[in-house]
Amino acid sequence: MKKISFLVSCFFLFFLVTPVFATFSFVSQGVWFSDNDAFAGDIVKIYTVVVNNDFAFFSADVEFLNNGSLIGTTRVVDLPLEGAKQVWIEYTLPSGEGSFTARLTNFIAKNGDGSVVSISSEEVAGFESERTYTIDLDTDGDDVGDIHDPDDDNDGLLDSREKDLGTNSLVSDTDGDGLSDKEEVDRGTDPVKEDTDGDGYKDNVDVFPTNGGEWADADGDDIGDNADPDDDNDGLSDIDEKGLGSDPLNSDTDGDGITDGKERDRGTDPTKVDSDGDGISDKDEFDQGLDPTTSDTDGDGLDDNVEIKDGTDPKKADTDEDGLSDKEEKDKGTDPLLVDTDGDGVNDLLDLFPMDATESADFDLDGEGNNVDTDDDGDGLSDIEEEEIGTDPLLADTDADGLNDKEEVDSGTDPNRADTDDDGRIDGEDENPLQADSNMLKRIVQFGAIGSFVLFVLFYSVYYYKRETA
């Protein structure tokens, strides 16, 4: 319990000084505090009361002193006869013993008509009031003064124990190393030495404060870094990390969410967040099933980040499976997400006009779609003319004789018959396709006779063989 010990026996100290003249007197009340349980360092109000017993009006400065030194002043103005005025100042309490004094100076007395009455300090009764004090400290702020507190710094060590250890009972961390005296005792370190083992690292940051050869344990495996071959426990030895350029004290050097050891095993660079430079971190590529060692996982000519932005699948070269790679579709302007961009029923691979729903084919490759082209096969005959003569408007050489349909019409040969004159030679190879070649007929007859003889001999040989073996 907070307590201020006073050397006076009563709460208020009243005193009267016999006035020089019996016709009047002045009374000043004793000195007291706003908080009688305050400790040294607390800000309190120091009060007194000024009483006017003799003058119509009385004014004066009220000075407050501590051990004879002025600590504050306030003023009472025109205090009426038989009036009392409580006055105060704020003050930070000191520790130890002493006395506070309140006194009146610069008096001004007035009659009822306001005229000033000459007055001296000798004519003012009781112009000083005094209070002695003993104020305790509360070092640890536990509301128990140091005089009665067994642990003044509240560090967990009794003052008597701190005396034996040589620590400061008023300072929780005697050596200023960031550990309380009690924590150091519990850890086995010296509370009066900031670096118990003398390795250059304060006890509060030294993981091995009593081992001069170790002070850090980056991976928390209870093996000091100096003795640990893998300080960050990432699966890579410190020597290997040095060779790779990664940090042996940081399990994830590039901060991409993958340990350096796993990056080495997967072929990525532990010093780069994005090993292949495609704009996607190695971690994200692993999570999405992409290859973090190449910017183009599916090899379609588009970087993975471009495909993700476009909405195509970076793991499939042909997202819509129409036979065109995503890169080819992007170059052509077709939609790599649609098999049939123009919706004409012909997929983009086969559609010569994939952006035009009204066209899909161009048999003569003249740049005009068949639907608008009047001569689809480009043989010189319009489609209407070909329909009339019975030729195929989609084939330039309907009978495949080496002459296009227009040439045959112009020369008088039949575009629907490969050998108009039936002489055994197709029109395109026949010098006179409209007249049979007699020599050719003779050769055909000769070849026919020879063929018949060969067949006869063959059949007779088979017959003879079977008879002889029967």
Tell me, letter by letter, the H, E, C secondary structure of 254-306: CCCCCCHHHHHHHCCCCCCCCCCCCCCCHHHHHHHCCCCCCCCCCCCCCCHHH
Number of H helices, E strands in the chain: 10, 9
* The domain boundary residue, chosen from 135, 157, 187: 135
The dihedral formed by the CA atoms of 222, 228, 234 and 235, expressed in degrees to the nearest 10: -120
331: left (phi over 0), alpha (psi -120 to 50) or beta: alpha
Q: Are residues 45 and 88 in contact, defined by beta-carbon separation less than 8 angstroms?
A: yes
Q: Are residues 282 and 274 in contact, defined by beta-carbon separation less than 8 angstroms?
A: yes
Does 441 fall in a domain?
yes
**Element (H or E) spanning 446, and its range?**
helix 438-469
Q: Is the pTM of this model over 0.95?
A: no
| Residue 416: per-residue pLDDT | 93
**What single-letter DSSP state applies at residue 94?**
P
* Alpha carbon distance 435, 411 (integer Å): 13
**Phi and psi at residue 217, to the nearest 5°:** -145, 80
Residue with tokens 């016709």: 23
Does 337 fall in a domain?
no
CA 237, 242, 245, 249 torsion-angle sign: positive
Does 121 fall in a domain?
yes
Q: Residue 426 is which amino acid? A: I
Residue-wise pLDDT tens for the chain (470 aa)? 333 322 222 223 333 333 322 222 333 347 889 988 899 999 999 999 988 888 999 999 999 999 999 999 999 999 999 999 999 999 999 999 999 999 998 989 999 999 999 887 676 655 677 888 889 988 888 888 888 889 888 899 998 999 999 999 989 999 999 999 999 999 999 999 999 999 999 999 999 999 999 898 888 888 888 888 888 888 898 889 899 999 998 999 999 999 989 999 899 999 999 999 999 999 999 999 999 999 999 999 999 999 999 999 999 999 999 999 999 999 999 999 999 998 999 998 998 889 889 888 888 888 888 888 888 888 889 889 989 999 998 898 889 989 998 898 999 999 999 988 888 899 888 889 888 866 555 566 666 778 778 887 887 777 777 777 76
Does 180 fall in a domain?
no
Nearest to 270 by CA among 227, 228, 235: 235
* Alpha carbon distance 339, 255 (integer Å): 41
* Residue 243 structure tokens: 């060779």
**Phi and psi at residue 84, to the nearest 5°:** -130, 140
Domain holding 100: CATH number?
Answer: 2.60.40.10
Q: Rg (Cα) of the chain, in Å, rounded?
A: 58
**Domain ranges, residue 39:** 26-135
* Alpha carbon distance 117, 57 (integer Å): 10
Q: Which residues are CB-neighbours of 206 under 8 A, at least 6 positions away?
A: 195, 196, 197, 199, 215
Q: Are residues 324 and 318 in contact, defined by beta-carbon separation less than 8 angstroms?
A: yes
Beta strands in 321-406 (DSSP E): none
281-314 residues labelled b (16+ CB within 10 A) or e (exposed): bbbbbbeeebbbeebbbbebebbbbbbbebebbb
* Alpha carbon distance 181, 360 (integer Å): 89
Q: Are residues 47 and 32 in contact, defined by beta-carbon separation less than 8 angstroms?
A: yes
**Total structural domains within the chain:** 2
Which ranges of 135-237 does DSSP label H, i.e. alpha helix? 159-165, 181-187
Does 357 fall in a domain?
no
Q: Count CB-CB contacts under 10 A for residue 467.
A: 8
C-alpha count within 13 angstroms, C-beta hemisphere, residue 315: 8
Q: Please report, in angstroms and rounded to a whole number, the separation of the first and last CA atoms in the chain.
A: 141
* Alpha carbon distance 463, 47 (integer Å): 154
Does 42 fall in a domain?
yes
* Alpha carbon distance 87, 104 (integer Å): 12
* The domain boundary residue, chosen from 135, 156, 189: 135
Does 94 fall in a domain?
yes
Does 229 fall in a domain?
no
Nearest to 322 by CA among 301, 343, 337, 342: 337
* The domain boundary residue, chosen from 104, 135, 166: 135
* Alpha carbon distance 426, 448 (integer Å): 19
| Residue 2: per-residue pLDDT | 32
* Residue 172 structure tokens: 């929780």
* Residue 426 structure tokens: 């197709």
Provide the 3-class DSSP secondary structure of residue 133.
Answer: strand
**Phi and psi at residue 103, to the nearest 5°:** -140, 155
Instruction: Report CA-CA distances (Å) from 217 to 250, 324, 408.
Output: 11, 56, 95
